Copies of this chain bind each other. A is one copy, B any other.
């Protein structure tokens, strides 16, 4: 595909995600549509992004397993993609999603349920220690 000018990239309406610029992987913030809560951060390659567009189910590239990863494919905790945002220079994404299952995190809370979000701890900036966010322990 012909490389777009910076102005076209930033002010245009053509989708041109800059995979090459980022060695094939763009970061994605996954945000719950209804609450604005950030559930996880992940990466997509071009194939994962295309599969997400085709299926409207959040699909990533697993950097640890080095394979395509449709979130919830095995657990059933799929993420329906409601909306995708792209940034000014088209090298970062936001997936706004609805949880079709319990949550996105592989960890369990003290009640034995998968946590809804991977971001369940916040930092005490002065003490440099973590504390669990209310109801996410």
Residues on A facing B (Cβ under 8 Å): 10-15, 27, 29, 31, 35-38, 40-41, 53, 56, 81, 83-88, 92, 94, 105-107, 115, 118-123, 125, 128-133
Contacts and interface: CB of A to CB of B under 8 A. Distances in A.
A86 B41 contact: no
Interface centre among A31, A37, A87, A128 (most CB of B within 10 A): A87
A87 B15 contact: no
A107 to B, nearest CB: 5
Nearest to A91: B41
Contacts of A83: 122-123, 125
Contacts of A38: 29, 31, 38, 85, 94
Contacts of A94: 38, 119
A96 to B, nearest CB: 9
Contact of A125 (B84, B125, B132): B84
A85 B132 CA distance: 10
Given A29-B29, A92-B40, A87 B14 contact: no
